[in-house]
Amino acid sequence: MTKKMFAACLVLFAGVSVCAQQPATAAAWEKFTSAEGRFSILLPGKPEPSKQTADSPAGPYTTHLFVAKGGGQIYIVGWVDYVPTFRFDTQKELEANRDNFVKGVKAQVKGTTPIKLGTNPGIEFTAESEQALFRSRVYIVGNRPYQLIAVWAKGQAEPPDIAKFFSSFTLTPATGAATRP
* Side-chain half-sphere CA neighbours of 99 within 13 A: 6
Chain segment 14-35, per-residue pLDDT in tens: 444 434 444 445 568 999 999 9
Nearest to 65 by CA among 124, 13, 142, 126: 13
Distance of alpha carbon 135 from the chain centroid: 9
SS3 of residue 140 by DSSP: strand
Confidence of residue 59 (pLDDT cuts 50, 70, 90): confident
Please choose, from the candidates 67, 27, 70, the residue with its C-alpha nearest in 3D space to the C-alpha of residue 47: 67
What domains lie within the chain, and their CATH numbers? 3-171 (3.40.1000.10)
Q: Taking residues 61-82, what's their average pLDDT?
A: 95
Chain segment 148-175, per-residue pLDDT in tens = 999 999 999 999 999 999 999 999 965 4
What would the DSSP string read from start to end of 86-113? ----HHHHHHHHHHHHHHHTT-EEEEEE
The confidence band for 57, taking pLDDT boundaries of 50, 70 and 90, is confident
Q: Residue 26 is which amino acid?
A: A
